[in-house]
């Protein structure tokens, strides 16, 4: 459904729909083309093991590789981590961290290796959530649109550069909001796992202590009864010799 309004200003009739479509086409043509690939996974890393993941990145214009990770369950909630470039160079390395985030400027096209190392732990598995974002941006050649920019500014009394700036900020804020919400969800999952682990630990120790107390109580009752039973072996042991 399309609504077209006609108005007359300074003796010139114009169509609102046509003007808006014209500006939108110009905006799409001059706004930088940004391609974003977002991958998030939750993996379990066995004790004494290392798990690696591979992300192919095509360098086109200004390209970045951003990664956030968080240990949400297992042991002391820590993991070692590193990123290795296509030329086998170590770009980022950390040891025994609970959570972290990194942003790497991509210098070459190739496959990047992302590894989580749990070899330092012999008994505890680790559950790790991580989010990989690759983004490349390439500006179109704006020189061919000089006249179009001026024409659009005259028609709509605004600057096209302001449009570009606003759209870019909105896009960045939306992406950041999504990342923050996902990260908060992982915080909640980690806290829930800690609470459930503490709950199971308290229940286990409470049951063990209850069993121990009942065993001690029954043993005391048995020993006291044996002291007063002439036929009991325990009575003969504790009976004074003359």
Q: Clarify whether residues 122 and 58 are in a common domain.
A: yes
In this predicted model, what pLDDT tens digit does every residue of 40-89 receive, in sequence order? 888 999 999 999 999 999 877 788 899 989 898 888 889 999 999 999 99
- Of 103, 124, 139, which residue is a domain's last? 139
Give the global pTM.
Answer: 0.56
Asked if the structure places residue 19 within a domain, the reply is no
Q: What is the pLDDT of residue 236?
A: 65
Asked if the structure places residue 3 within a domain, the reply is no
How many structural domains comprise the chain? Answer: 2
Asked if the structure places residue 65 within a domain, the reply is yes
Q: Clarify whether residues 194 and 110 are in a common domain.
A: no
Domain span at residue 94 reads 32-139
Q: What is the CATH number of the domain that holds 109?
A: 2.60.120.680
**Model confidence at 233: pLDDT above 50:** yes
- Of 139, 174, 205, which residue is a domain's last? 139
Q: Clarify whether residues 135 and 167 are in a common domain.
A: no
CB 235 within 8 A of CB 226: yes
């Amino acid at each position: 459904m399309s609504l077209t309004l006609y108005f007359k200003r300074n003796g010139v009739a114009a169509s609102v729909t046509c003007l808006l479509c014209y500006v939108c086409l110009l905006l799409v043509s001059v706004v930088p083309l940004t391609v974003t690939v977002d991958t998030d996974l939750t993996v379990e890393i066995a004790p004494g093991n290392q798990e690696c993941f591979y992300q192919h990145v095509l360098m086109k214009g200004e390209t970045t590789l951003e990664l956030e990770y968080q240990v949400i369950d297992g042991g002391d909630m820590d993991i070692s981590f590193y990123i290795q470039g296509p030329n086998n160079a170590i770009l980022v390395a950390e040891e025994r961290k609970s959570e972290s985030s990194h942003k790497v400027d991509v210098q070459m096209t190739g496959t990047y290796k992302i590894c989580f190392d749990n070899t330092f732990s012999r008994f505890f598995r680790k559950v790790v959530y991580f989010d990989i974002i690759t983004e490349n941006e390439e500006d179109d050649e704006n020189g061919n649109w000089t006249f179009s920019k001026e024409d659009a500014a005259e028609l709509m009394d605004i600057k096209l550069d302001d449009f570009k700036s606003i759209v870019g900020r909105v896009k960045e804020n939306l992406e950041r909001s999504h990342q923050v919400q996902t990260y908060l969800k992982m915080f909640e999952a980690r806290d829930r796992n800690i609470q459930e682990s503490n709950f199971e630990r308290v229940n286990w120790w409470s049951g063990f202590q209850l069993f121990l107390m009942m065993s001690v109580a029954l043993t005391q009752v048995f020993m006291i009864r044996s002291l007063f039973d002439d036929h009991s072996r325990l009575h003969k042991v504790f009976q004074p010799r003359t």
